[in-house]
Amino acid sequence: MSHSTQQEELNPYLIAQRQVDTAAAKLQLPSHVTELLKKPKRVLSVSFPVKMDDGSVRIFDGYRSQHNDAIGPTKGGIRFHPGVTLDEVKALSMWMTFKCGVVGLPYGGGKGGVICDPRELSIGELERLSRAFMEAIADIVGPERDIPAPDVYTTPQIMGWMMDTYSKLRGHNAPGVITGKPIIIGGSQGRGEATAQGCVYAIQSALKDIDLPMEQARVAVQGYGNAGRIAARLLHDLGATIVAVSDSRGGIYDPAGLDITRVEELKDTAKLADYGAQYAISNEQLLELEVDILVPAALENVITKENAANVKARIIAEAANGPTTPEADEILDAKGCIVIPDILANAGGVTVSYFEWVQNLMNYYWSEEEVLEKLEANMVKSYDAVRKMAKEYETNLRTAAYMISLHRVTVAMQARGWV
Ligand code: GLU
């Protein structure tokens, strides 16, 4: 195989380890510290039965990975997706440690995943699966241990079922075991839009850096779930032109700007493609459009060495976790593209999860204005710190963000006497 056709490494766990290595080298961390940070502290693998509507029983497999708890309990979502793997969950838990680190939350990183396709499950099957998975991991989670939350294809309703199952197991109400719950049972105002809102605050900072007003910005959003859909709406409301969006079935593109309200209606009642055949594009084409801002808000490894050179956006705001490979990062860097890394760009979600957990522990609830004000202040401060670090060490925003986090967690491990 010639060099140029050699397969790029796409295993998210190996990619996360490489990202740690890059930042650790810049910080000149001792090798045992780097080694510790490259592996999760604990991984639980579970198999559990679920009764299906047709009377059959299906066995599902899932994982919970707890990467590092030097700074506080581990924290991070649970993903329901057919593509879930142990290595993916391990990588996602590492990214959570570094995400909480960049925005200064008193948490380490965790992540869970169940191999399933929730789009093929009835609501009853989904409820039984969610409760069974919580039961399977109940021994290692808890408000002071490890606090799950929503991720790909998991919703506030699923968080509600899981909180209920955990509370019943413990014999008392335990809202602080999980975040992203419905508001009536301890969810926080603003949590639903927090990932997208945090990403928009980060984009506003980046736009200032390149002196581009929001009203002149053309945007493409890949993924139309909790992050992508709300980011498109918020950016539109701030005056940007959303020229393309997509979901797992494909995308739509109108260089004159999409009618966002119509897109939202179609997503809820039909499919994006019903916008009109002449607007259809693929997920791959969306990434290469003539836009100022690209928001990958779906899954990992969509910007690779194969397409990075064709990406035209000046700003990439990673609402998804792990959308850009290290090889692609190099290509984007060389072009002067500003990549707002996932651990910063999508940290708004876990930030408001933290607010939710604090409110649960205090039993005192805040207004939406209060939540958003605190979120904005923290995102702006974190972005500024990352930008400053990048300048000082002449590196990109991703490595700078990792450096801030790695330093923080290393100091915590030293203070505990671990290293
Ligand atoms: N799943 C989200 C993430 O990847 C949110 C995690 C949380 O709120 O704990 O950041």
Pocket flag, ligand 1, residue 74 (CB < 6 Å): no
Q: How many CB atoms lie within 10 A of CB 214?
A: 18
Q: What is the pLDDT of residues 27-43, one digit of tens each?
A: 999 999 999 999 999 99
Mutation pick for ligand 1 pocket among 350, 354, 357, 375 (CB with most ligand atoms within 8 Å)? 350
Residue 406 CA, ligand 1 centroid: distance in Å: 19
Q: To which residue do tokens 């990549």 refer?
A: 339
Pocket flag, ligand 1, residue 349 (CB < 6 Å): yes
Pocket flag, ligand 1, residue 350 (CB < 6 Å): yes
Residue 275 CA, ligand 1 centroid: distance in Å: 31
Name the pairing type of β-strands 293-296 and 315-317: parallel
CA dist 253 and 289 (Å) reads 9
Per-residue pLDDT of the chain (419 residues; tens, 9 = 90+): 445 567 899 999 999 999 999 999 999 999 999 999 999 999 999 999 999 999 999 999 999 999 999 999 999 999 999 999 999 999 999 999 999 999 999 999 999 999 999 999 999 999 999 999 999 999 999 999 999 999 999 999 999 999 999 999 999 999 999 999 999 999 999 999 999 999 999 999 999 999 999 999 999 999 999 999 999 999 999 999 999 999 999 999 999 999 999 999 999 999 999 999 999 999 999 999 999 999 999 999 999 999 999 999 999 999 999 999 999 999 999 999 999 999 999 999 999 999 999 999 999 999 999 999 999 999 999 999 999 999 999 999 999 999 999 999 999 999 999 99
CA dist 113 and 123 (Å) reads 18
pLDDT at 5: 60
CATH numbers and ranges of domains, the chain: 40-175 (3.40.50.10860), 194-345 (3.40.50.720)
CA dist 96 and 109 (Å) reads 4
Pocket flag, ligand 1, residue 345 (CB < 6 Å): no
- Cα-Cα end-to-end distance for the chain: 43
* Residues with active-site annotation: 111
Residue 109 CA, ligand 1 centroid: distance in Å: 9
Residue 191 CA, ligand 1 centroid: distance in Å: 10
Mutation pick for ligand 1 pocket among 96, 141, 352 (CB with most ligand atoms within 8 Å)? 96
Amino acid at 258: L
3-state SS, residue 250? strand
Task: Please state the atom number of ligand 1 nearest to the C-alpha of residue 75.
Answer: 9
CB 109 within 8 A of CB 180: no
pTM score of the predicted model:
0.98
Cβ-in-10-Å burial (0-12, 13-18, 19+) of 234 comes to middle
pLDDT at 7: 87
Residue 79 CA, ligand 1 centroid: distance in Å: 10
Cα–Cα nearest to 374, from 356, 353, 357, 352: 352
CA dist 149 and 158 (Å) reads 9
